[in-house]
């Protein structure tokens, strides 16, 4: 594990993932190999914070979404199940369902979605 990931190495990983050069499972593997063990997405902005033992990287905001003030569990589950959704469309769907942030735990291959009213949904990744 390399826990001395540079900003440029990190940005290259993000670029390769966003252009489809690497799949989501490959992306998670590269993050893990680089010492990044979790990341959190702010749904309203699409801004991500990647955290490792010795490093933290933030991406720029990508969108400006309004989070619904009503939590809709079935709509969240529907969006999670539609793995083919592009990232920004996925954010829009879960924002409309009342999700504020979500956190990906890379080594556990688990995601926790945090919604309005302290509601949570956990998902085990199938990667």
Tell me what pLDDT residue 24 has.
Answer: 83
Q: What is the pLDDT of residues 74-127, one digit of tens each?
A: 999 999 887 777 788 899 999 999 999 999 999 999 999 999 988 999 999 887
Sign of the C-alpha dihedral, residues 109, 96, 59, 88? positive
Q: What is the pTM of this model?
A: 0.88
| Rg of the chain on CA atoms, in Å | 14
- Give the long-range contacts of residues 87-93, CB within 8 A, separation 24 or more: 87/18, 87/46, 88/46, 88/62, 88/63, 91/41, 91/43, 91/46, 91/62, 91/63, 91/65, 92/63, 92/65
């Amino acid at each position: 594990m390399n826990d001395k990931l540079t900003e440029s190495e990190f940005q290259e990983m993000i670029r390769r993932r966003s252009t489809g050069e690497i799949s989501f499972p490959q992306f998670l593997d590269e993050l893990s190999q680089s010492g990044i063990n979790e990341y959190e997405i702010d749904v309203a902005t699409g801004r991500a914070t990647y955290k490792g033992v010795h490093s933290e990287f933030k991406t720029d905001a990508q969108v400006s979404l309004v989070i619904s003030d009503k939590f809709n569990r079935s709509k969240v589950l529907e969006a999670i199940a539609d793995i083919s959704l592009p990232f920004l469309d996925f954010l829009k769907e879960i924002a409309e369902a009342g999700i504020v942030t979500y956190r990906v735990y890379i080594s556990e291959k688990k995601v926790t979605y945090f919604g309005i009213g302290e509601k949570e949904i956990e998902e085990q990744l199938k990667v």
